[in-house]
Chain A
Amino acid sequence: MAVTQLIGAKIHRREDPRLVSGHGRYIDDLNRPGQVYATFVRSPYAHAKIQKIDLTEAKAAAGVRAVYTAKDFQGQVAGTHPTVAAFAPEKKTVPDRFPIASGEAAYQGEIVAVVLADTKSAADDAANLVQVDYDVLPAVGDLEKALEPNSPKAHTDLADNLGWDMTLVPWEATDSAFGSAEVVVKERILQQRLAPTPMETRGVLAEYDTFDKRLTIWMSNQNPHFIRLFVGGALSLPESSVRVISQDVGGGFGSKISPYPEDYLVPAMARMGGRPVKWIETRTESIQNTTHGRGQIFDVEVAAKKDGTLLGMRLTQYLDLGAYHGTFGAFQACACVMAGGAYHWQGISARTVGVLTNKVPTDPYRGAGRPEATHLVERMLDRLAQEIGMDPIELRRKNFIQASEFPYTQNFGLVIDSGDYEKSLAKAMSIAGYDELRKRQADLRGKGRYLGIGVSTWIELCGFGPSALAGATAGVALVESAQVRVHPTGSVAVYTGTHSHGQGHETTFAQIVADTLGVPYEQVEIRHGDTNEGPSFGYGTYGSRSLAVGGMAIHRASQRVVDKAKKLAAHMLEAAEEDIVFDQGKFHVKGSPEKAKAMGEVAFAAYGAGLPEGMEHGLEAVAYFDPPNLVWPFGAHIAVVEVDPETGSVKFEKYVAVDDCGNVINPMVVEGQLHGGIVQGFSQALFEDVAYDEASGQLRTGTMLDYMVPTAVEIPDIQLDSTVTPTPVNDLGVKGIGEAGTIAASVAVINAITDAVSPFGITHVDMPASPDRLWKQIKEARGVSATSANGGGGAQA
Chain B
Amino acid sequence: MKRKVALTVNGSRREDEVEPRLLLVHYLRDVAGLTGTHIGCDTSQCGACTVLVDGKAVKSCTLFAVQAQDAEVETIEGLATGDQLHPLQQAFWDNHGLQCGYCTPGFIMAGVYLLSQNPNPTDDEIRKGLEGNLCRCTGYVNIIKSVKDAAQKMGAAKGAGTPVAAGGE
CB distance from A32 to the nearest CB of B (A): 14
Q: Does B115 count as interface, using CB distance less than 8 angstroms?
A: no
Q: Does B48 count as interface, using CB distance less than 8 angstroms?
A: yes
In the bound complex, what is the Cα–Cα distance between A198 and B137 (angstroms)? 8
Q: List, in ascending order, chain B residues with CB within 8 A of A12's CB.
A: 93-94, 96
Interface residues of chain A: helix, strand, loop or mixed (majority): loop
Whether the pair B40, A199 counts as a contact (CB closer than 8 A) is yes
Assuming the contacts A197-B136, A251-B136, asked whether A671 and B98 have C-beta atoms less than 8 A apart, the reply is: no
Q: List, in ascending order, chain A residues with CB within 8 A of B93's CB.
A: 12-13, 16-17, 20
Which of A17, A19, A121, A712 contacts B19 (CB under 8 A)? Answer: A121
Which of B45, B99, B105 contacts A672 (CB under 8 A)? Answer: B99
CB distance from B76 to the nearest CB of A (A): 4
| CB proximity to B under 8 Å, residues A119-159 | 121
Q: List, in ascending order, chain B residues with CB within 8 A of A17's CB.
A: 83, 85, 93
Assuming the contacts A251-B136, A679-B139, A712-B140, asked whether A13 and B41 have C-beta atoms less than 8 A apart, the reply is: no
Which of B1-9, B52-60, B127-135, B157-165 faces chain A?
B127-135
Q: List, in ascending order, chain A residues with CB within 8 A of B83's CB.
A: 17
Whether the pair A251, B137 counts as a contact (CB closer than 8 A) is yes
Whether the pair B100, A251 counts as a contact (CB closer than 8 A) is yes
Whether the pair A713, B99 counts as a contact (CB closer than 8 A) is no
Residue of B nearest to A24 (CB): B101
Q: List, in ascending order, chain A residues with CB within 8 A of B137's CB.
A: 199, 251, 502, 672, 676
In the bound complex, what is the Cα–Cα distance between A705 and B43 (angstroms)? 7
Q: Does A348 count as interface, using CB distance less than 8 angstroms?
A: no
In the bound complex, what is the Cα–Cα distance between A711 and B139 (angstroms)? 9
**Number of chain A interface residues as a range:** 35 or more
Q: Does A493 count as interface, using CB distance less than 8 angstroms?
A: no
Q: List, in ascending order, chain B residues with CB within 8 A of A423's CB.
A: none
Q: Does B112 count as interface, using CB distance less than 8 angstroms?
A: no
CB distance from A496 to the nearest CB of B (A): 17
In the bound complex, what is the Cα–Cα distance between A504 and B77 (angstroms)? 22
CB distance from A541 to the nearest CB of B (A): 12
Q: Does B138 count as interface, using CB distance less than 8 angstroms?
A: yes
CB distance from B51 to the nearest CB of A (A): 10
In the bound complex, what is the Cα–Cα distance between A334 and B41 (angstroms)? 32
Which of A29, A251, A283, A709 contacts B43 (CB under 8 A)? Answer: A283
CB distance from A508 to the nearest CB of B (A): 12
| CB proximity to A under 8 Å, residues B89-104 | 89-90, 92-94, 96, 98-104
Whether the pair B89, A713 counts as a contact (CB closer than 8 A) is no
Whether the pair A718, B139 counts as a contact (CB closer than 8 A) is yes
In the bound complex, what is the Cα–Cα distance between A538 and B40 (angstroms)? 29
Which of B36, B40, B41 contacts A23 (CB under 8 A)? Answer: B36
In the bound complex, what is the Cα–Cα distance between A596 and B82 (angstroms)? 41
In the bound complex, what is the Cα–Cα distance between A501 and B92 (angstroms)? 17
Contact string, A662-688, partner B, CB cutoff 8 A, digits 1/0? 000000110111011111100000000
CB distance from B152 to the nearest CB of A (A): 18
Residue of B nearest to A252 (CB): B100
Q: Does A21 count as interface, using CB distance less than 8 angstroms?
A: yes
CB distance from A205 to the nearest CB of B (A): 13
Q: Does A28 count as interface, using CB distance less than 8 angstroms?
A: yes
Q: Does B46 count as interface, using CB distance less than 8 angstroms?
A: yes
Assuming the contacts A15-B101, A248-B101, A703-B43, asked whether A22 and B140 have C-beta atoms less than 8 A apart, the reply is: no
Residue of A nearest to B147 (CB): A712
CB distance from A143 to the nearest CB of B (A): 27
> Known contacts A253-B136, A672-B138, A712-B127; can you find 8 more A-B pairs with CB under 8 A?
A20-B101, A26-B102, A199-B48, A199-B103, A250-B40, A704-B46, A711-B130, A712-B135
Ranked 7 nearest A-B pairs via Cβ: A22-B36, A250-B102, A19-B101, A679-B139, A502-B100, A502-B99, A22-B76
Q: List 27 A-B contacts (CB under 8 A).
A: A16-B92, A16-B98, A19-B98, A20-B89, A20-B105, A21-B76, A22-B36, A23-B36, A28-B29, A121-B21, A199-B40, A250-B40, A501-B100, A502-B101, A503-B99, A671-B96, A678-B139, A679-B140, A680-B139, A703-B41, A704-B43, A705-B43, A705-B45, A711-B132, A712-B131, A712-B144, A713-B131
Which A residues have a C-beta under 8 Å from some C-beta of B?
12-13, 15-17, 19-24, 26, 28-29, 121, 197-201, 248-251, 253, 282-284, 501-504, 668-669, 671-673, 675-680, 703-705, 709, 711-713, 715, 717-718, 741
